[in-house]
C-alpha cells in the first residue's frame, strides 16, 4: 500500500473512531407494571411502576419500553397474587406481546418492576433472558408493598452476567400513587439530579 493510500485509510479510521466517541450513549427505561386492584392503592389505571418509569424517562431523556405479558393478568389483587405465586413456583416464562427491536442500540437500561412474592415478575425474567447484556449497565428500580428490592438486584446480576448492575431504587407503591412529590424526590436522589 502506498503512503498516500495509507494516510487516507488512517484518516478514515480516525474519523470513524472520533464519530463513535462523540455519539451520545443511548438509554432505555424498560418496565413491567400492573393496573387494576393493587395493594394499598385500590383500583388504578396507571401502574405504580409505570409512574416511576415515566418520571425516570422524563428526567434522563431515555426511551421508554413497556414489558407486557402476552396473557393478561387478573385485575383483582387476590387473583393476581395467586397467578403470580403459581408462575414463580413453576418458574414460568410468559411470552411477551412484543420485544424491543433495537436493543443493541442501548448501553444503559433502567429496569423497573413490582415485587411479586419477593421476586421479579416472571415476565421480567422473560425479557432478561431474551437479550445479550454484554457491555450494558442496568439500574434496577421497583415498587413494593414493604419488601424493598428484596433479592432482585442479585437475581438480575445472576441473569445478566455480562452486565454491570448499579444501585437499585425501591419505592413503595403507595408513594408512587399517592405522593408523587416524594416519589420524584427519591428518584432525583437516586439519579443524582
pLDDT grade for 22, boundaries at 50, 70 and 90: very low
The pLDDT of residue 31 is: 98
The pLDDT of residue 16 is: 40
The pLDDT of residue 48 is: 98
Report the chain's mean pLDDT, rounded to a whole number.
Answer: 90
Instruction: Evaluate if residue 26 carries a pLDDT over 90.
Output: yes
Q: Write down the domain spans for the chain.
A: 28-191
**Pairwise CA distance, residues 74 & 90, whole Å:** 18
The pLDDT of residue 116 is: 97
Grid cell for residue 120: 421479579
The pLDDT of residue 19 is: 39
Adjacent-strand bridge partners of 119: 116
For the stretch 134-158, pLDDT in tens is 999 999 999 999 999 999 999 999 9
Burial (Cβ within 10 Å: 0-12, 13-18, ≥19) of residue 18: exposed
Instruction: Give me the mean pLDDT over the 8-20 stretch.
Output: 42
Instruction: Evaluate if residue 12 carries a pLDDT over 50.
Output: no
172 φ/ψ angles, rounded to the nearest 5 degrees: -65, 140
CATH class of 28-191: alpha beta
Q: What is the DSSP letter of 130?
A: T
**Pairwise CA distance, residues 110 & 18, whole Å:** 27
For the stretch 41-92, pLDDT in tens is 999 999 999 999 999 999 999 999 999 999 999 999 999 999 999 999 999 9
DSSP state letters, 150-177: TTHHHHHHHHTTTSEE---EEEEHHHHH
The pLDDT of residue 2 is: 64
DSSP state letters, 55-123: HHHHHHT-EEEE--BSSPPPSSHHHHHHHHHHHHHHT----BS---TTGGG-SEEEEEEE-BTTB--HH
Q: Report the range of poorest mean pLDDT among 12-16, 53-57, 167-171.
A: 12-16
Full-model pTM: 0.87
Amino acid at each position: 500500500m502506498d503512503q498516500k493510500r495509507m494516510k487516507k485509510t488512517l484518516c478514515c479510521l480516525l474519523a470513524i473512531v472520533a464519530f463513535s466517541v462523540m455519539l451520545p450513549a443511548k438509554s432505555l427505561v424498560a418496565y413491567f407494571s400492573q393496573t387494576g386492584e393493587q395493594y394499598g392503592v385500590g383500583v388504578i389505571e396507571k401502574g405504580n411502576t409505570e409512574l416511576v418509569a415515566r418520571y425516570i424517562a422524563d428526567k434522563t431523556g431515555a426511551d421508554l419500553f413497556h414489558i407486557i405479558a402476552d396473557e393478561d393478568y387478573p385485575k383483582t389483587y387476590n387473583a393476581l397474587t395467586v397467578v403470580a405465586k403459581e408462575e414463580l413456583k413453576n418458574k414460568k416464562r410468559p411470552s411477551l406481546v412484543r420485544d424491543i427491536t433495537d436493543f443493541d442500540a442501548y448501553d444503559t437500561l433502567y429496569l423497573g418492576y413490582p415485587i411479586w412474592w419477593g421476586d421479579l415478575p416472571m415476565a421480567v425474567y422473560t425479557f432478561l433472558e431474551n437479550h445479550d447484556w454484554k457491555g450494558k449497565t442496568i439500574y434496577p428500580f421497583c415498587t413494593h408493598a414493604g419488601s424493598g428490592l428484596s433479592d432482585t438486584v442479585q437475581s438480575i446480576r445472576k441473569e445478566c452476567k455480562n452486565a454491570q448492575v448499579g444501585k437499585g431504587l425501591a419505592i413503595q407503591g403507595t408513594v408512587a400513587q399517592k405522593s408523587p412529590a416524594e416519589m420524584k424526590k427519591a428518584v432525583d436522589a437516586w439519579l443524582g439530579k
